[in-house]
Structure 1
Amino acid sequence: MLTALDADEGKLDEAERKFVSAIREHGWFNTHILKSDGKPEFNFTTGFQVNLGAPEIIVFGLRDEVAHGLLWNLYRDLKTGKRYETGRPYTDFLEGFDVCFQVVDKSQYHEHLGWSRWFYAGDAFDCWQLIWPDKQNKFPWEADFTSNLLDLQPDLSAGHWGGKILN
């Protein structure tokens, strides 16, 4: 898989060189997008797929420090060989709360994953959305999820949260 890691650094601008340099040094890069136009803030990774063979991850509605910490922990877990599946809860991310993953539909890449699309020269990479629950440990697709949190985590799956209902 060709990526921006293979690019001639002389042809990259300063921001692109810093981005690629961070991925070379740390294995991945965290992009934080501020909330705007009524859309929630979010973070996404670049480098997970090329360096770990794992999907890139996007997470919405968390403060940058919290999201970055979760993504670092996930990177470290993946680096040790741990693997995850979509559509099932995991208890080892947020103390006292489950999280789950859903596949991000390629139609969402253009709007949400600009730096990853640049790095991979298109959409030939996988991305999963990390979804967090409310304080009652309910997910957005569950009927009693806290309604004022719904706008913080848009559904980027191909259908209603990938058609997955967790038990």
Structure 2
Amino acid sequence: MSDVMGKVEDDIKKHGWHVLSVFSKDAPSFSYSIGFTETLDHPEIIMSGLDTSLMHSLINDIGQLIRNGQRFTNNQLSEEVIKGYPVKFSKISELNKEEYLRAAVSIYSIEKFDALQCIWPDKEGKFQEESNTAQEVLS
């Protein structure tokens, strides 16, 4: 674990953040940022249920949007993250923050950062309110 945390800290210093992906057989995989709090004064971002390489890329894109002045807040919709589809940002619960963002918790402590989930819509453009087999909702 110390090698992973060393890489996280190096990436934050070098790039401003690190994207960590967690693979799961029993639930949707997820990816999240570590470093938005420190370098961009912005809540960390987590995504669930897409291909991890796609989520990694989307979180990096979100980081660039933030770096360029965009701010994301609870219940905000944005059409700038996935072209042609809106996404919704939702504040995740403290319990889920502790459960899912463990590396960020170990760097910041749970009280010192906020996190938003970037929720993607279904094919009809509707946002789910609860978890399903494709995406966990952590609010």
When the two structures are superposed, what TM-score results if normalisation uses the length of structure 2? Answer: 0.91
Higher strand proportion (structure 1 or 2): 2
Q: Distance in 1 between matches of 2:133 and 2:79?
A: 23
Shift of 1:109: 1.9
CA displacement, residues 47-77 of structure 1 (integer Å, 9 cap, x when unaligned): 0011001000110001111111111111111
Is there any run of 5+ residues in structure 1 with no aligned partner, and where?
1-11, 143-148, 158-167
Q: Kindly provide the amino acid, as one letter, of the partner of residue 132 in structure 2.
A: L
Q: Kindly provide the amino acid, as one letter, of the partner of residue 69 in structure 1.
A: S
Q: Distance in 1 between matches of 2:64 and 2:42?
A: 12
| Counterpart selection for 2:114 from 106, 126, 134 | 126
Shift of 1:14: 3.1
Q: Distance in 2 between matches of 1:120 and 1:137?
A: 35
2:7 corresponds in structure 1 to 18
| Counterpart selection for 2:70 from 78, 82, 87 | 82
Q: Distance in 2 between matches of 1:15 and 1:43?
A: 15
Verify the 8 A CA contact 1:109 1:123 in the aligned structure 2.
Answer: no
Task: Find the residue that maps to 2:42 and give its secondary structure.
Answer: coil
2:103 corresponds in structure 1 to 115
2:31 corresponds in structure 1 to 43
Is there any run of 5+ residues in structure 2 with no aligned partner, and where?
none
1:62 corresponds in structure 2 to 50
**Bigger Rg, which one:** 1
The count of aligned residue pairs is 139
Verify the 8 A CA contact 1:102 1:128 in the aligned structure 2.
Answer: yes
1:30 matched to 2:19: yes
RMSD: 1.9
When the two structures are superposed, what TM-score results if normalisation uses the length of structure 1? Answer: 0.77
